Amino acid sequence: MLEHLQYCLEEQSEKITSWYKAKVKSLKEENISLPLFSSFDMRDSGYKASIVDSNVYPSGFNNLDLESQLYASKRFSNYLSSLSIEKDILIISENHTRNTFYFDNIHVLSSILNRAGFDTYFGYIEGKNNSHPTLILEKYEKPLKIEKLFRDNGRVYTDSFHDGIIILNNDLSVNHPEILDNIHQHVLPSISLGWYNRKKSTHFKLFNMLIEELASIVPFDPWLLKTSFTYVDDINFKDKDSLDDVAKAVDLVISEISLKYEELDIREDPFVFVKNNSGTYGLGIICVSSGEEIKNLNSKKRKKMIYGKDRSRIDSVLIQEGIYSNYLIHDNPAEPVLYNVGGEVVGGFMRVNKLQDRDKNLNTRGMTFQKLVTNNQTRPIILKNGEFSLYALLTKIADLAISYEYKQTLTDK
């Protein structure tokens, strides 16, 4: 099915490009840009492909190959130079200090920006767990120094950084960062897209609407590129009534998937992911095939769904259609993770997990990262050579959805 869809959409790529450019132009007229950067978890079952998670403050730049990093430098240069003549950039990092892979991420992000002609500095927003004013990591050729953030006279600064562009690589899972309110510096991405304020259900509603709009212009079955979902607010996995509400929502989505599987003669068992509606890092996720499984969750799985990152309480969950992964690397399930800068795919990697099955969450213990599968397949993953890419199209649509999310935050003020 997807091979046929790839062919049909490629035949109408000019019409699709015109539609996309019109959307971007309309946003620009309202002074809204595409995200500075973003990353997307992709699932492809062979008969259906979609984005299942969209990150506005992506980590994992250290998993990009050199070619992707070089292309990212060009895209950052184009995007940032269109906003400001400033050449100093402060990268605001996550506050945790134990995840060495995260530090590799901001180190590589810094290197990418340095190649683009920018000087980079690092800062953190003070929180209750910060016991040292400055963190210095000596493992890199140039030591990584992360300094406490201060504010004065409408700007933020550190001991080393005095003024310039602010790039957030902190997903703001818990609190609104008041220190960044109403400063004269560019802050990218917007703090209003932090997880303290953002809902996955809002994003996927907009994403699905855009898929459906495109399907009305270049006819195809939009189900092939979107995911069914619903959500439940005001939940507590310690509470039986909450479990009953989530169970009903699970059965509703399973029923929708089952009808479509029957229509298309897909002979697999439907399943869903129940996810924290405002969170990342693969936390607060379980996979089930029926509402009854929710009602009978053991204490370990219930506990998993009480807190997200930084012990932020989970009070809303997304129930999202599960998509089997068609990718296997050394017999282990894998999924593409793609990175965009300024609305264009710069590259990505394959997330592989030897401890999971093809219908499970791969962003968890046991995962490793490998180079993207080669681009000579029927459905090329990324678009760097003028070929039409179904995956790149999905990331563009998801970036549009993020921009519309931001637009909604402006009207909600």
Q: State residue 366's pLDDT score.
A: 94
Q: State residue 375's pLDDT score.
A: 47
CA distance 411 to 30: 12
Contacts of 26 (CB under 8 A, 6+ apart): none
Here the tokens at position 183 are: 């400063």
Q: State residue 412's pLDDT score.
A: 74
Q: Are strands 49-55 and 37-44 parallel, antiparallel or unpaired?
A: antiparallel
On whether the CB atoms of residues 92 and 59 are closer than 8 A, the answer is no
CA distance 385 to 189: 28
C-alpha pair distances (Å), 340 with each of 36, 38, 348, 402: 8, 5, 9, 12
SS3 313: strand
The number of residues in the chain equals 413
Question: What pLDDT digit, counting tens, does each position of 4-53 carry?
Answer: 898 889 899 999 999 999 999 999 999 999 999 999 999 999 999 999 99
Q: State residue 386's pLDDT score.
A: 55
Here the tokens at position 278 are: 């405002």
Q: State residue 83's pLDDT score.
A: 94
Q: State residue 132's pLDDT score.
A: 59
Q: State residue 119's pLDDT score.
A: 98
Domains of the chain: 1-56+198-227+323-413 (no CATH), 65-193 (3.40.50.11280), 232-321 (no CATH)
Q: State residue 376's pLDDT score.
A: 47
Q: State residue 55's pLDDT score.
A: 96
CA distance 280 to 315: 15
Low-confidence ranges of the chain (pLDDT < 70): 96-97, 127-132, 282, 374-387, 413
Q: Which residues of 191-205 are buried (b: 16+ CB within 10 A; e: fewer)?
A: bbbbbbbbbbbbbbb
Q: State residue 388's pLDDT score.
A: 74
